[in-house]
Amino acid sequence: MAAAISAQQLAVTFARRGRTAAVAALQPLDLEIASGQIVGLLGPNGSGKTTLLRVLAGLQAPTSGTVTVLGQAPGAKVLRARVAYQPEGPLPLDTLSALQFLQYVGAAVDLPNARADARAAALLQRLGLESAGRRSLRTFSTGMLKRLNLAAALLPEPELLLLDEPTSGLDPAGCELVGEILQEQRAAGVTVLLASHHLLEVEAICDEVLVLERGRLAARGRLGDLLATDAWSLVVRGLDLPAMERLGAAASAAGGEVLRIERGREHLYALFRRLARASDAEPRR
């Protein structure tokens, strides 16, 4: 499988200004990301995640090293519609309506007007913004702006999505929707590199993760490999409490340590999602 992203000894250093010391935002790193997968980019604030995304988007020149995106130098004109970057910050042109903003994005990537309009309408509907399409961005909530920003990234049907905190500010239903859309993109062959602090989200949708620490690539791999330990657990479902107690006694007799016997529980996220779906199913009055 061809590499969507390839970097050799890529480094970025922000020069010293006045009494401020130079900052090594990215230490020399080698990186290859294959096409058609979702890769999570993790790390604490200041670890270099946004800098790496900006380099790949062609918005930040590397200090040293080489990097290619879809076989081209980042920012090359031929990548204008093939690579999309969703930054974390606010959207520009907030006097425009959502539809006008997407039309502006379509023009910026040379989409024909008819195609841009059709894509904009479909994406506004998919992201739950159809009824707000003619409203000014100034009236949008944080979550609505975040969804519109994703719509803008998806508009030209890119081959590579670079996303910086795509679910920050979204409620659980919005996070789930974004996860579904990104998995649809992967199924269509799109490569996704997303920076996130939402670890449950990353576990749910990412094929592998990159962990940055102080600009260095501290770890990389599939979550199953990175999180695995030498300990083994027995996961059982469908037994009542007396049967569980008998099983616990048998485990102790076999030399195991029974840590606890407890009722199963779901995540708070799953509870929120279940309640939201129940509410949607109720007849409207």
Each of the 285 residues of the chain gets a pLDDT tens digit; together they read: 579 999 999 999 998 777 778 889 999 999 999 999 999 999 999 999 999 999 999 999 999 999 999 999 999 999 999 999 999 888 888 899 999 999 999 999 999 999 999 999 999 999 999 999 999 999 999 999 999 999 999 999 999 999 999 998 898 889 999 999 999 999 999 999 999 988 888 888 999 999 999 999 999 998 878 878 787 778 888 888 899 899 989 989 998 888 887 777 766 666 666 776 776 676 655
| Domain spanning 3-226: CATH superfamily | P-loop containing nucleotide triphosphate hydrolases (3.40.50.300)
Domain boundaries, the chain: 3-226, 241-281
Tell me what pLDDT residue 1 has. Answer: 59
**DSSP H or E run through 42:** strand 38-42
Q: Measuring CA to CA, how many Å separate 237 from each of 247, 260, 263, 268? A: 12, 15, 10, 20
Which one-letter DSSP state was computed for residue 133? T
Tell me what pLDDT residue 192 has. Answer: 98
User: 216: which residues sit within 8 A by CB, 6+ positions away?
Assistant: 27, 29
Tell me what pLDDT residue 211 has. Answer: 92
185/190 Cα distance (integer angstroms): 5
Q: Are 32 and 55 in contact (CB under 8 A)?
A: no
196-229 as b/e: b if 16+ CB within 10 A: bebeebbeebbebbbbbeebbbeebeebeeeeee
Q: Residue 266: helix, strand or coil by DSSP?
A: coil
